[in-house]
Structure 1
Amino acid sequence: MAGRAADSGRIARRFDALRAAGRGGLVTFVTAGDPDPETSRALLKALPAAGADLIEIGMPFTDPMADGPAIQASSLRALKAGMTLTRTLALVRDFRADDGETPIILMGYYNPIDTYGVDRFLSDAKAAGVDGLIVVDLPPEEDEELCLPALAAGINFIRLATPTTDDRRLPAVLANTSGFLYYVSIAGITGTRSASEVDLQSAVERLRRHTDLPLAIGFGIKTAAQAAAVAAIADAAVVGSAFVSRIAENLDSEDRARPGLVDGVLQLVSDLATGVRGAKK
């Protein structure tokens, strides 16, 4: 089986615990600093208690080309509020002061990391308590840029697979992937549509022939029923645009957080977690 590499510990322990509990997990995505650093910090700290099993934190970037309008807007809001990669790492450190177990994955694009400096970034990310990276614009052919240094630093490098990743391409995708494999269930940008359960079942069966890494499925999951359907066949459901959209719904005309924003997002997290926990394997 392909797909085994260095592991930071928390991700493997969390998927082992989920497997022992006989259920799939809920992976939540939020953009660091959206809509402002203080609100973002409060939301992040409350996610595990609301039902998040793993947390992806988006690194704000001016040109998030793989993301749909909702996540693009969240990134721009965060940047407008003064969020930087340095502040994103500080957000993780602050989270780790209270939570030493929930896995944290930073997700985004290579440009901010390259600007920060790869070696410095990996050192600072590891020290802050980052467990994994998802960098969507670095293909396997560029593994020496970030993937291999990340693994050497003890940080998981999580790769994406899509419906167009055929059996000839999968070995290259899986070669240095660790932590879990993130299956993007549709071709296109985030937050648009969702795949059918039949297509997902077929995809999971094919991927499991190539790797024994945990499989997380994302893109287009908005409801508890959809999350439950995914958790019944995969190891985790990834939800992002639905949370980011809930944040946007609770902003005033100047993109400032209205009272109740955090509670509103956490209620959605709780609803989706209930769906995931009720899924039958």
Structure 2
Amino acid sequence: MTDNATITPSGQPLGISHRESPTEAMFARFKARNQPAFIGYLPYGFPDPDTSLDALRTMVEHGVDAVEIGLPYSDPVMDGPVIQAASQIALDNGERIAGVFHAVETVAEAGGVPLVMSYWNLIYHYGVERFARDFENAGGAGLITPDLIPDEAGEWIEASDRHGLDRVFLVSPDSSDKRLAVVADNARGFVYAASRMGVTGERDTLGTSPETLVARTRAAGAANVCVGIGVSTPEQGAQVGRYADGVIVGSALVHTLLSDDGRGVRDRADGLRDLAAKAEALADGIHNAR
């Protein structure tokens, strides 16, 4: 139960939820099997709201353990061309933040761990407490905020504590040891280690900096560290899965639903078929990495 009798300096109730973190429970299961988890990303509303729900369900049914449901945004500073194109299609189709909770329910009902990845401005304008309440009620696990640092996340930290939600902050190879410690101390669920500086996208090679970053982040106190940005093949997934607690794949999955010119959508049946095949291949590489 949440005790709302005490009020914080910001005027919000201080009650803390004792709900177990579904994300941490997932990692515990995988660690017991000495396996990394597979986290897949797809923007809600792409290619259209109904098909996106089918796509999210397809991902879980074909090996994705946790799903980052993206909230499309008009100024996606971290996103590469593939995700930007998909997000713009979703926005053009009239995607609204309220609809994402149907996506959260879909992932949860399919047996996956539902995460939302969003730029902070969208959450702020929706209402932090309102979002946390609606997200919890839909069965959500946690929020990934690429442009929100712990130092400026007081309202979200309070709301996530009240509703038992994970908060996932990002670190990069350029993060100082002090910054890593701050992130590790304030994160819940896992820390998102960006494999390199720059935007998302498929890459031919990953280099050694992600492995070093994972080791540094663990040394700073993080219990679970997942690597994303640039992972696009089963071989790369296996490479990262040898040392990370989870492997995050976005653009390679989104790509299966885009047309060849990268500006439109593929035939629905063909796209879902290729998404299933891509998810299965990546899951096989990641889950058998060790």
TM-score clears 0.5: yes
Say whether 1:23 aligns with 2:23.
no
Q: Identify the residue that residue 105 of structure 1 maps to in structure 2.
A: 115
Alpha-carbon distance in structure 1 between the residues aligned to 2:141 and 2:170: 17
Superposed counterparts of 1:172-251, under 5 Å: 172-191=182-201, 193=203, 194-196=205-207, 198-249=208-259
Alpha-carbon distance in structure 1 between the residues aligned to 2:63 and 2:93: 27
Alpha-carbon distance in structure 2 between the residues aligned to 1:49 and 1:264: 13
Change (3 A) 1:6 1:250: farther
CA-CA distance at 1:109 after TM superposition:
0.6
Superposed counterparts of 1:45-124, under 5 Å: 45-96=57-108, 98-99=109-110, 101-124=111-134
Say whether 1:131 aligns with 2:127.
no
Identity %: 32
CA-CA distance at 1:256 after TM superposition:
5.9
3-state SS in 2 of match to 1:146 = helix
Please say which of residues 101-110 and 120-129 is displaced more in the overlay: 101-110
Which residues of structure 1 form unaligned runs of 5+?
none
Change (3 A) 1:89 1:59: same
Higher relative contact order (CA 8 A, sep 6+): 1
3-state SS in 2 of match to 1:175 = helix
Alpha-carbon distance in structure 2 between the residues aligned to 1:142 and 1:246: 36
Change (3 A) 1:19 1:86: same
CA-CA distance at 1:33 after TM superposition:
1.0
- Contact kept? 1:6, 1:178, Cα under 8 Å: no
Q: Deviations over 1:138-187 (max 9, x none)?
A: 11221213233212221000111100111122122222101011100101
Q: Identify the residue that residue 273 of structure 1 maps to in structure 2.
A: 283
- Contact kept? 2:202, 2:252, Cα under 8 Å: no
Alpha-carbon distance in structure 2 between the residues aligned to 1:224 and 1:84: 33
3-state SS in 2 of match to 1:27 = strand
Q: State the TM-score, normalizing by the size of structure 2.
A: 0.88
Alpha-carbon distance in structure 2 between the residues aligned to 1:94 and 1:218: 23
Q: Number of paired residues?
A: 273
Hey, which bits of structure 1, 4+ residues long, moved more than 6 A?
Answer: 250-253
Q: Deviations over 1:38-96 (max 9, x none)?
A: 11111111222201011110011111111111111111111111211101112222443
Please say which of residues 30-39 and 136-145 is displaced more in the overlay: 136-145
Aligned amino acid, residue 26 of structure 1: F
Task: State the superposition RMSD in angstroms.
Answer: 2.0
Alpha-carbon distance in structure 2 between the residues aligned to 1:253 and 1:203: 34
Alpha-carbon distance in structure 2 between the residues aligned to 1:256 and 1:83: 19
CA-CA distance at 1:250 after TM superposition:
6.7
CA-CA distance at 1:8 after TM superposition:
4.3
Q: State the TM-score, normalizing by the size of structure 1.
A: 0.91
Aligned amino acid, residue 225 of structure 2: L
CA-CA distance at 1:192 after TM superposition:
5.3
Say whether 1:155 aligns with 2:165.
yes
Aligned amino acid, residue 73 of structure 1: A
Q: Deviations over 1:172-220 (max 9, x none)?
A: 2222101011100101111154531x33332222222112411100110
Aligned amino acid, residue 206 of structure 2: A
Alpha-carbon distance in structure 2 between the residues aligned to 1:221 and 1:93: 27
